[in-house]
Amino acid sequence: MSRQSWLFAALFLCALVSWQWFRPAPGGPASEQDYQPDFIARQLTSLQYNPLGLPYRGLDADYAEYYDPLSMTLMEKPVILLYSPDGQPQWRLQGDEGVINTGDNAVMVGSVIGRGLQPDALVETLTTEYLELDFINNQLRSNRDVQLSSPHYQAQGQGLLGKLEQQTVELLHETRATYFNP
């Protein structure tokens, strides 16, 4: 080979090594991607209405980040208002942090407090560290310790299943209750 061919081969090899050396690292798997929020909101307030024009769900949060690829909103200090079918406030649920998966469910964690807002509510206050709201089946669920209270009783247990349409709440395990005589 001629001297010129060796020079081109050396330059090609040098270019190939440089390209490999300075090439950007490939992204990790989807679970390790660093997602950036599509929008950030402070003092977020939202109210959704049913086809009859009556409110059915409200949301307040001190801070929220929405991620469109995940269809989810992360929130700090969320407050969720649930309304009865006739548009009357039924439950006010608040927690330290929360996640809403668009149209599906919400999860609230850390000092979750629920207040029954109906005048004839059987549960005045619900407290737990974890609460899931299933929007499709209109249910409240928890697998943690739960305390229920009203002027007539106090109850504790582990796990909860609440059916919003029937206005019932059931403690699932290790239930203890104290009833008060008026």
DSSP 25: P
Is pLDDT above 90 for 77? yes
Work out the burial of residue 119: count CB atoms within 10 Å of its CB; fewer than 13 is exposed, 13-18 middle, 19 or more buried: exposed
Q: Please, which pLDDT band fits residue 98 given cuts at 50, 70 and 90?
A: very high
pLDDT band at 166 (very low <50, low <70, confident <90, very high): confident
Instruction: Tell me what the pLDDT averaged over the chain comes to.
Output: 86
| Helix (H), strand (E) at residue 8 | helix 3-22
143-147 contacts at long range (C-beta below 8 A, 24 or more positions apart): 146/171
pLDDT attached to residue 26: 58
Determine contact, residues 165/138, Cβ cutoff 8 Å: yes
pLDDT at 64 over 90: yes
| Per-residue pLDDT, 31 | 52
Distance CA 130, CA 141 (A): 9
Answer yes or no: is pLDDT of 175 > 60: yes
pLDDT bracket for residue 155 (50, 70, 90): very high
Q: Mean pLDDT over residues 44-66, rounded?
A: 92
pLDDT for residue 48 is more than 60: yes
- Average pLDDT on 31-53 reads 85
Domains and CATH numbers, the chain: 38-179 (2.60.450.10)
